[in-house]
Amino acid sequence: MLYNNLGKRTILLTPEVLATFSKYQQTGAKTEAGGYLIGQEFGGQLVVEVATEPGADDIRKSFFFKRNKNRGQKFVDEIWKASGRKMIIAGEWHSHPEKFPTPSKTDIRESMKSFAKGHFPLGFMLIVIVGKKAIVHSWVGIQNKSGLFKINRIGYQFWRDD
């Protein structure tokens, strides 16, 4: 799926990333899940190629998800080195038990904190919240130093809309 990055450049979520989101949609009694988004820039377009999956040491509940920051950071560092310093951390994702997800007050606070504490080489952090409906209805936004802003999907839709 292709997104407009606040009127500058574009962001592409690859089918592999969308497949990982699908796997953790909170249908039935599944708990919240999440991870990091990793990608690289090609001619100004951010291509998100990996969504890390929840690990055993993440805390997962129905309405709550907390990443193990140490394990996550280690993985991000490994990918960065293995890719010849091309693949970088682009953001974070998590699931919500809602059909059409929106960031909670906690999400808004945590997103600001993550951005302030972390090192995001692109100068922004991509935030994706996956709901219970089709992946195309995910909430996608940009956290930068000014706040958290929803961004819009453009172009072709590479995913089912049902």
Stretch that binds Zn ion, among 4-12, 18-26, 105-113, 114-122 (CB under 5 A): 105-113
- Which residue among 107, 125, 131, 151 contacts Zn ion (CB under 5 A)? 107
How many residues touch Zn ion under the rule CB under 5 A: the total is 2
CB of 68 to Zn ion, least distance (A): 17
Q: What secondary structure letter does DSSP report for 29?
A: T
Nearest Cα to Cα of residue 48 among 13, 77, 23, 24? 13
Q: CB of 152 within 8 A of CB of 3?
A: yes
CB of 96 to Zn ion, least distance (A): 5
Which residues have a catalytic role annotated?
A: 32
Q: CB of 80 within 8 A of CB of 44?
A: no
Task: Give the Cα separation of 71 and 135 in Å (integer).
Answer: 26
Residue 42 or 63: the one with the smaller Cβ distance to Zn ion is 63
CB of 132 to Zn ion, least distance (A): 13
- Decide: helix, strand or coil at residue 155: coil
∠150-65-103 over CA atoms, to 5°?
20
Q: Which of residues 26-85 bind Zn ion (CB under 5 A)?
A: none
Residue 49 or 107: the one with the smaller Cβ distance to Zn ion is 107
Task: Give the Cα separation of 142 and 148 in Å (integer).
Answer: 6
Residue 52 or 88: the one with the smaller Cβ distance to Zn ion is 52
If one asks whether residue 92 binds Zn ion (CB under 5 A), the answer comes out as no
User: Which residues here bind Zn ion, judged by CB under 5 A?
Assistant: 104, 107
